[in-house]
């Protein structure tokens, strides 16, 4: 066999071996780096105000994936006036050895979320999902897109088919685009209020403007309340482009714009179109002044479609029937967000 024949015979083999070695080295670099980072940061802050705890970890997926599985995981978030935590029985991180910087997350078992609001109120939500998956795409060390998909929710307060949340840095403006949806949810009497316990469908499109003040949050350099304060001082607004919710006996659409005042209370205006029946919450349900106000004003129109204006100033919520007769009802008070 001539030398040239041997070259054509062995060159592909050598190339494959070189690729295999390169893939192995790359996998070890990515997997080893992630494993080292996790071990060094277990029980410590992984970002301003955010602490990670886990009881066990394992790494697999050679050669094309890096798959990390953590057991008994708790993420704790602490800010100046609020705190919260999320505990999951198992948490997995999946990352490609090659390609764009994207991570896939999965959580399994009982999910327990607890938080303390800015007024000292303690809240807790525990549920078991059929599946809980999320993905994050990074560019230049900054989060630019996040997607969450929650299927088959099982909790005392809320249960149902599916909830999705997506947000990204807008490609053509200084904004964060937000899309959320929910399907076939059953709500407790407290959450359902006057609309009833069956939410068949909900869809929301919105945006957070401007995006630049919260860039440090997505780069892991500031806590969420510090970033939100910078956003508020820069005239930040939550622009509700469209919210549509379909209940068993009512359908509503809303749009508007909200910001935060100097005391961190929501303020702004929302236009609400309602078609259907809204009932005042039962006597044994904690007071829901917005639902009660809507129920009272719907009696004026005798069940016909109507348009409301929700105006919030320094946390005070006022509901007005915008068509004749123009009637205003006190619809409650919102506390500071942080």
Q: What is the pLDDT of residues 239-297, one digit of tens each?
A: 999 999 998 888 989 999 999 999 999 999 999 898 887 776 665 555 456 666 676 66
pLDDT at 3: 45
Q: Is 226 part of any domain?
A: no
Q: What rounded mean pLDDT belongs to the chain?
A: 82
pLDDT at 258: 95
- Is 12 part of a structural domain of the chain? yes
Contacts of residue 140, defined as CB under 8 A and 6 or more positions apart, other chains included, come to none
Chain centre to alpha carbon of residue 228: 15
Are 59 and 35 in contact, with CB atoms under 8 Å apart? yes
- The DSSP bridge partners found for residue 75 are 52, 86
Asked if residue 302 is part of any domain, the answer here is no
pLDDT at residue 157, rounded to an integer:
84
User: For the whole prediction, is pTM greater than 0.85?
Assistant: no
249 in a domain, yes or no? no
Asked if the structure places residue 61 within a domain, the reply is: yes
> Domain range for residue 135?
1-169
Strand partners, 151: 131, 162
Task: For Cα atoms 236, 241, 242, give the angle at the middle one, nearest 5 degrees.
Answer: 140
pLDDT in the model for residue 25: 42
Residues 131-157 pLDDT 10s: 999 998 888 777 889 999 999 988 888
Does some domain include residue 328?
Answer: no
- 153-162, 174-183, 209-218: which is most confident: 174-183
- Contact of 240 with 258, CB cutoff 8 Å: yes
Does any domain span residue 183? no
Encode burial over 96-130: b for 16+ CB neighbours within 10 A, e otherwise: ebeeeeebbebbbbebeeeeebbeeeeeeeebebe
d(CA 270, CA 305): 17
Query: With contact defined as beta carbons under 8 Å apart, do 293 and 334 qualify?
Result: no
Number of separate domains in the chain: 1
Is there a domain that residue 179 lies in? no
Residue 45 main-chain phi, psi, to 5 deg: -75, 130
Cis status, amide bond into 187, omega within 30 of 0: no
């Amino acid at each position: 066999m001539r030398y040239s024949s041997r070259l054509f015979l062995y060159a592909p083999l050598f190339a494959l071996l070189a690729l295999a070695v390169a893939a192995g080295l790359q996998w070890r670099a990515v997997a080893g780096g992630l494993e080292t980072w996790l071990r060094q940061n277990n029980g410590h802050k992984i970002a301003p105000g955010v602490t990670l705890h886990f009881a066990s970890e394992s790494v697999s997926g050679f050669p094309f994936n890096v798959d990390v599985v953590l057991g008994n995981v708790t993420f704790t978030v602490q800010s100046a006036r609020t705190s919260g935590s999320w505990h999951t029985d198992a948490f997995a991180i999946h990352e490609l050895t090659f390609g764009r910087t994207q991570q896939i997350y999965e959580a399994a078992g009982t999910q327990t979320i607890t938080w303390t609001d800015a007024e000292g109120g303690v809240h807790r939500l525990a549920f078991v999902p059929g599946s809980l998956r999320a993905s994050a795409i990074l560019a230049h060390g900054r989060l630019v897109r996040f997607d969450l998909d929650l299927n088959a929710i099982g909790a005392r307060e809320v249960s149902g088919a599916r909830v999705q949340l997506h947000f990204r840095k807008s490609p053509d403006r200084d904004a964060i685009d937000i899309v959320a949806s929910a399907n076939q949810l059953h709500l407790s009497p407290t959450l359902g209020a006057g609309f009833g316990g069956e939410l068949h469908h909900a869809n929301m499109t919105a945006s957070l403007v401007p995006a630049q003040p919260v860039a440090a949050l997505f780069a892991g350099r500031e806590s969420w309340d510090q970033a939100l304060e910078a956003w508020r001082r820069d005239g930040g607004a939550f622009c509700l482009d469209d919210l549509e919710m379909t209940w068993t006996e009512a359908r509503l659409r809303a749009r508007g714009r909200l910001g935060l005042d100097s005391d961190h209370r929501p303020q702004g205006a929302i236009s609400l179109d309602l078609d259907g029946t809204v009932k005042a919450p039962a006597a044994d349900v904690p007071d829901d002044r917005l639902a009660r106000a809507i129920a009272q004003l719907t009696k004026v129109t005798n069940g016909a479609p109507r348009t409301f204006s929700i105006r919030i100033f320094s946390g005070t919520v006022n509901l007005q029937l915008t068509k004749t007769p123009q009637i205003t009802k006190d619809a409650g008070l919102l506390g500071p967000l942080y």
